[in-house]
Amino acid sequence: MSGRLRATAEYGAALALLGLAWWYASGPYGMPPYLLPSPASVLTTLWNMLAAGQLLPHIAFTIQNIVLGLLIGTVFGVLLAYLLFKTPFLNDVLEGPLVVLQTAPKIALAPLIIIWFGLGLTAKIVLIFSLVFFPVFAGALAGFRAIDSRLHDLAQLLRLTPAQRFFRVDLLASLPSIFVGVKIGAIQALVGAILAEWMSGAQGLGYLMTYATATYKTPILFGAVLLTALFGMVMHALLNEIEARFLSWNVPDER
Amino acid sequence: MITIEQIAKKFSGKSGEVIALEPFSQEIAEGELVSIIGPSGCGKSTLLRIIAGLETPTSGKIVLGTSGLKRPVGFVFQDAVLLPWKTVAENIRFPLDTSGVPRSQGDQKVKELIQLVGLAGFENSLPKQLSGGMKQRAAIARALADDPPILLMDEPFSAVDLLTRETLNDELSRIWRKTGKTILLVTHSVEEAAYLGTRVMVMSPRPGRLRKTFDVDLPSPRGEETKRSPEFLDLVAELRTMMREMTQ
């Protein structure tokens, strides 16, 4: 626990230092506000937007897309991995193409995805999905393959049904590996969500950034970037918390 | 009752066929505790896995006198193979949960089993918090959970230290007398085989085959005095000589 407290303190100190540097550069050092608005002006702008009800819809939109993309990507990533794990034939046929797809830069495909799926929500979710899917798939497949073979013996001895095998043994045994994929996928999802909003639509933190850039409202740009970074940190902390709570069985006790 | 009828097993690998088990037959009566010993490669684990239905024999068949039971055998692995995300109690009730036994009935059964194997107070511990011996106790309780008439044990105590091993031997003997299960125990230790078994099957390697069976005429319950009795010591000496011949 004290280690965790120290980590939080160190994290806080680093942030404070960064804030101080920002304040110094925009204040005493004298960077022009259109290049670097002061922390105070950014916070005031955010506060005013929040009070006017102009901020929350954007935040909610981005979070909604990330959560949806992350959920769908995770479910499909895990299911396809299990299908490959259980079907050697599919594994032989699909593994090659999937590795090629996995190494393809999905971000570069973003314009294509918009052409295919339109300017609306679908394209955004598809882009996020494509970014989440592969790390989760890779993590899950590695996890399924690493299951102790005697757990399969146990499942066979207990005559478990296929559903029992999946939900009560294989999925849980692979959860630590799957979670590694989800954590990578979550960061990718954030990048994907912002990128998709840069390219089309009129909602979300990514849209706020392009809007602010086009209209030279630098404080809004900074505010949106700040909120995105903040959301990334919250998501990371949340996933760590989930991991600590539900996957502690996987971590050897300190002796 | 277990009837082994001309069971044989071949594995085909890169370097051709390997005969894991040459055909042999054997009958094991209800309530017997049969020890199976032999050097590595004698097919003793393969035999156990075939009886458990984890491997299919190349020829021959196994008849379990347990007509119609969904899970006729309980199996104890060399190391416990508990589900690491479940507590001791949850692990023991896993066979019950997955066969639709009602919650309250399961709770009662788990309580009894925890008493039987001496794990009271550790119900809510995770496997990672247990010593090797305690894990093995939990594994035995799990194997007994849905009351299979046959218990198959594949070197169940080889991963625990000597003192724990002796304690667990006595515990197993007590559980066997109390439950009346038919038990097949694969082991490396001649003392363990002689101390626990009503019969000892000695197997020889390359190819795996049944070398000889010994009836163990030692009074039950057995204890420290058994281990000092001339009959026991003679049997151990004979088994050891046989094992030594085979490994040379």
Domains and CATH numbers, chain A: 56-246 (1.10.3720.10)
Q: How confident is the model at residue A255 (pLDDT cuts 50, 70, 90)?
A: very low
Residue A165, chain B, CB below 8 Å: the answer is: no
What is the model's pLDDT at position A254? 55
Record: contact B98-A160, CB cut-off 8 A: yes
Q: How confident is the model at residue A220 (pLDDT cuts 50, 70, 90)?
A: very high
For A77, what's the count of Cα atoms within 13 Å in the CB-facing half-sphere? 33
Q: DSSP alpha helices (H): ranges in chain A?
A: 2-26, 39-51, 56-86, 88-103, 110-117, 121-145, 149-157, 162-164, 171-199, 205-214, 218-246
Q: How far apart are CA A223 and CA A204, in angstroms?
A: 13
For B203-245, what is each residue's pLDDT tens digit? Answer: 988 888 888 888 888 887 888 888 888 888 888 888 899 888 8
The one-letter code for the residue type at B112 is E
| Residue A102 or residue A82, greater confidence | A82
Report ipTM (2 d.p.): 0.88
For residue B94, the chain A residues in CB contact (below 8 A) are 158, 168
- Token duo for residue A61: 């939109």
Record: contact B128-A150, CB cut-off 8 A: no
What is the model's pLDDT at position A4? 76
For A120-167, what is each residue's pLDDT tens digit? Answer: 889 999 999 999 999 999 999 999 999 999 999 999 999 999 999 999
| Residue A255 or residue A27, greater confidence | A27
CA angle A183, A186, A189 (to 5 degrees): 155
Q: Which range in A105-119, B174-188, B209-223 is most confidently predicted, on average pLDDT?
A: B174-188
Between chain A and chain B, how many beta carbons pairs sit less than 8 Å apart? Answer: 48
* Other Cβ atoms closer than 10 A to A34: 10
Of A154, A175, A253, the CB nearest to B81: A154
For residue B71, the chain A residues in CB contact (below 8 A) are 157-159
For B67-121, what is each residue's pLDDT tens digit? Answer: 777 788 899 998 889 999 999 999 999 999 898 888 888 888 899 899 888 888 9
The pTM score is 0.85
DSSP conformation class of A168: I
Of B75, B85, B127, the CB nearest to A172: B85
* Other Cβ atoms closer than 10 A to B245: 10
Indicate if the pLDDT at residue B156 is higher than 50.
yes
Average pLDDT, chain B: 87
